[in-house]
């Protein structure tokens, strides 16, 4: 294994991880998690 190949491997791995992080992390951000709906008269247990 040459250093060049190792570097390429590292870059590819990093890119894949970054892709996952961006997709997952951005969609995970929920500024108002579990917030009550306006129409909620009774607290619904499985409210989003």
Partner 1 sequence: MTSRRWDVPSPRVVVPVVVAVVQALLVLGPALGGGVAVTHDMAWSPDPRWTPFVLGLDTPAPRAVPSDAVVVLLGKVVGASLAQHLVLLTILVGLALGTCALLDELLPRVGVAGLVAAAVAAVWNPFVSERLAVGQWAVVLGLAALPWGMRAALRVVRHGTSPYAVAPALVCAAVGGGNSLLLVGGTVLAVLVSGAVVVRSRRVLAAAGAAVVMCLGLAAAWALPALTASPVADTAGVRAFAPVADGPLGVVVSLLGGGGFWNTGAHPEPRAQVLIALTSALLATAGVAAAVVVGWRGRGRPGVLLAVPVVVCWALLLLSLGGPAEGVWEAVVTRLPGGGLLRDSQKLLAVWVVLAATGLGVLTDRAVRLVPAGLVGPVLGLLVGLPLVLSPQLVWGIGGRLDAVTVPDDYRAGLSEVSTLPPGDVGLLPWSQYRRYAWNDSRVSLTLAPRMVDRVVLFDDSLPLRSGTVAGESPRAAAVSERIRDGVAPVQALAVEGVRYVAAELGGAQDVDTQALRASGRVVVDRPSLLVVDTGSTTGPGVPEATEPSGAVLVGWGVTLLTALLLVARRAAPEIARKLPTGLLRSRP
Binding site for partner 1 (CB under 8 A): 1-3, 5-6, 9-10, 12-14, 16-17, 20-21, 23-25, 27-30, 33-36, 40-48
CB crowding 28-40: b at 16 or more within 10 Å, else e: eeeeeeeeeeeee
Least gap, CB of 15 to partner 1 (angstroms): 11
CB 34 within 8 A of CB 47: yes
* Rounded CA separation 32/20 (Å): 23
Least gap, CB of 10 to partner 1 (angstroms): 5
Least gap, CB of 24 to partner 1 (angstroms): 4
């Amino acid at each position: 294994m040459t250093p060049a190949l190792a570097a390429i491997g590292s870059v590819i791995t990093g890119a894949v991880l970054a892709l996952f992080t961006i997709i997952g992390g951005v969609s995970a951000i929920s500024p108002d998690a579990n917030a009550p709906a306006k129409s909620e008269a009774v607290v619904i247990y499985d409210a989003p």
